[in-house]
Structure 1
């Protein structure tokens, strides 16, 4: 911590910038506490429709991402850089809870909903996209601060 303080002071900052959870009293649940939850992220997989809106997340906060496919096409979402910048708590599909170590993509062959819960960890800007697409509306930028 002394090194961070010295580096911050040498750059003209009064105190180092440290990412913090959304609440001070995390209690027994830790980072998964209800006070540490950000707004849900909604993504829609539909042929020719926008994927969703760009979002900014707080490092150390807990989020849910709800991915809904309308079944209009066989579509996937990929973003290995983003999935490596988070700690995945679980993925819920048809009330089945999956606790993966890591994922690279999720593909929908028919309509359905997948709910991912995670803690944002690594700051940066990450892209989630529909593989093989080139349009700006077929991707979203997720910034972790």
Structure 2
């Protein structure tokens, strides 16, 4: 009986998926939003004919800020439904106005401006954010959530 119970516990332990640890041990009252659980800011520049940036690796459960800045050289947007569904958005700040959306598909800039989005990475996998209608590798960024 003890052998069966031990075997069952070992099997259950081995079959459970590995969990990502938060960036800090003692997050306190703020939980996942604690300052010690924040990853580095992610910066994307939208400019006509220029690459969006380099691919990014995120840790599930960590808090990040994504800053998208358009230089106004063209009317440009970024879309990434898969990415936006793989995160929990805390807020999006546009012209010092805070928006707390349930979900978004894209962000479009008609002229120069900055959008800051704070979020917690949730769903592991590789998610793409790109300029709509583009096919080039430099016109997209891959977010790998581990």
TM-score of the superposed pair, with normalisation by structure 2: 0.90
1:8 Cα deviation from its structure 2 partner? 5.2
SS at match of 2:29: helix
Q: Show the counterpart of 2:5.
A: none
Residue pair 1:56, 1:144 contacting (<8 A) in 2 also: yes
Q: What residue number does 1:90 align with?
A: 91
Per-residue Cα deviation, 1:24-65 (whole angstroms, up to 9, x for no partner): 111111101000000000001000001011000000000000
Map 1:29-48 onto structure 2 (within 5 A). Answer: 29-48=30-49
State the structure with more CA Rg.
Answer: 2
* TM superposition shift of 1:16: 5.2
RMSD: 1.7
After TM superposition, give the deviation of residue 6 of structure 1 in Å. Answer: 2.4
Establish whether residue 6 from structure 1 lines up as the match of residue 6 from structure 2: no
List aligned pairs for 1:117-136, cutoff 5 A.
Answer: 117-136=118-137
**Residue 16 to residue 107, structure 1, CA distance change in 2 (3 Å):** closer
Instruction: Tell me: CA distance 1:22–1:111, structure 2 relative to 1, closer, same or farther (3 Å).
Output: same
The answer as to 2:27 corresponding to 1:26 is yes
Asked if the contact 1:5–1:16 (Cα under 8 Å) also holds between the matched residues in 2, the reply is no
Q: How many residues align?
A: 139
Indicate the residue corresponding to 1:63 in structure 2: 64
Contiguous gaps of at least 5 residues in structure 1 = none
Distance in 2, matches of 1:32 and 1:82, equals 20
Mapped contact 1:126–1:142 kept (Cα < 8 A) = yes
